[in-house]
Structure 1
Amino acid sequence: KVRGNILKKRIHVRIEHVQPSRCREEFKLRKVQNDKLKAEAKARGEKISTKRQPEGPKPGFMVEGATLETVTPIPYDVVNDLKGGY
């Protein structure tokens, strides 16, 4: 698609090198599983949500073996002296 126009292209590839797209595989598997879950929930008389949930944040952890170093700021006058002053 170029500037709103769909351009036809011809590609020359031997049939042995053509593979079917796998882009909908996960969707099809999820659809089958959702239908099964809905049927089970309906038999129990419940209502379920089949929406996908985003992956949450990773759990926190403590960094072991790190040594703490206290850093003190340099006074402003010393910084000017190091630069050579104005």
Structure 2
Amino acid sequence: MPSNAFNVFFIKQFMESNIPDKIIESAGIDSAGEFLTFNQIVLPILGPAISTLLHRSCYLCLDKYPLPVLVTLVHGYYNSPSSPNKLSAKG
């Protein structure tokens, strides 16, 4: 998942609105270190945000695919994903 300003802003806003400071403080009172607090408290809460960014990232990558296929089909230059029957053995 590529990192850009939107992803950082999205995660920051999600953390500020969904993770109360009292949860982090109570983990510190229970003598949980920063690593344990992040792994067992913060990451499960961040699950929906991470999933949203993953889906958005996949969508944006797949959104760039149709243009090269269209260009190669118009000019007659084929790549292997757009023409699997061209790769089959003739005979």
Whichever of the two has the greater Rg, that structure is 1
TM-score in terms of structure 2 length = 0.30
